[in-house]
Amino acid sequence: MAFLHKLSKASSLASASLIRHLSNVPENTVYGGPKPQTPNQRVTLNQLRQKYNKGEPITMVTAYDYPSAVHLDTAGIDICLVGDSASMVVHGHDTTLPITLDEMLVHCRAVARGAKRPLLVGDLPFGTYETSTSQAVDTAVRILKGGGMDAIKLEGGSPSRITAAKAIVEAGIAVIGHVGLTPQAISVLGGFRPQGKNVASAVKVVETAMALQEAGCFSVVLECVPAPVAAAATSALQIPTIGIGAGPFCSGQVLVYHDLLGMLQHPHHAKVTPKFCKQFARVGDIINKALLEYKEEVTNGSFPGPSHTPYRMNPKDVNGFSKELQRLGLDDAASAANEAAIEPEKMNMVNTGSN
């Protein structure tokens, strides 16, 4: 009985220890939800609001896959936007219109696996939220549940878009609005044209941004508008503005990943790269150089050399392998195996001698 009592006590202690280790219930919270925010955990709307209130610029960059998301995460970018611009810079289309919701969800999930810190925002692609508020809410829900996003972004400021934004917010989903140049509306705009260049258009940009704020958006993207228009909108709003081609007077800035890195150096990309974009690197040139060097080394036989041929057989196994090949009537294969076993050693000797 004493043994059973000790065993029971030990089991209880182990269970208590296990519960303590598995517990993720933070102190001073209303319910057992996520732990309090730390610099290494997900950016929240409250943190963005704090930055906005302090006048600290907010950074946003697009990402479309796991590697780009990891880079944004490492750089400490505030907001990671899985943009429908993937249609152009990833899928090679001339506009953002062709990308589908299913394709966007693939991008969203990949980004969610790579970016652990930034607030994750997914674009609602063209054709997935215009029909009704019900369609808009359903699409937004899929972006969060199926894509792993924290919020969504939608374009435009027509009454139906304002209504859609309001319905999505009321469904419990955070929304970023988008005014100025709205690429999904190029059929109406007549191409990728800047907005707000005359009085009526400028006033419309400001009024639309204010309507999106009233609908419950926590931020508004201002794209391709003159700096005075962006400054006026930023002053009129009580939520952050994120500029892209809108000058320095916004609450933050966003650029497309491929554009700011100079990732793609070819005629198609030159055609769709906006003039407002600063290339902070020319990564495309580095990629092209590396690929050419790889092709050259494979062609001249210098790659892979001994240092990149790491897997070895000991001489006894090489000999046994060769005999088995001969037994199977594969004499040429046996000779090739023997030569391959000797060749790395020869190359090592040559390299050692040259050093």
SS3 353: helix
Which amino acid is residue 96, in one-letter code? T
User: Residue 238 belongs to what H/E stretch?
Assistant: none
Considering the candidates 223, 297, 324, 345, report the single residue annotated as catalytic.
Answer: 223
Structure tokens at 288: 């092209």
Which amino acid is residue 97, in one-letter code? L
DSSP symbols for 78-107: SEEEE-TTHHHHTT--SSSTT--HHHHHHH
> Using N-to-C axis directions, what is the helix angle for 199-215 and 227-236, rounded to 10°?
30
SS3 254: strand
> Using N-to-C axis directions, what is the helix angle for 315-327 and 331-354, rounded to 10°?
150
Check: CB of residue 115 under 8 Å from CB of residue 137: no
HSE-CB of 160 using CA atoms within 13 angstroms: 8
Structure tokens at 204: 């419309």
* β-pair partners for 178: 221
* β-pair partners for 61: 80, 255
Check: CB of residue 154 under 8 Å from CB of residue 196: no
SS3 252: strand
Quick one: DSSP state of residue 59? E
Q: Is 339 marked active-site?
A: no
Residues annotated as catalytic (active site), given as ranges = 223
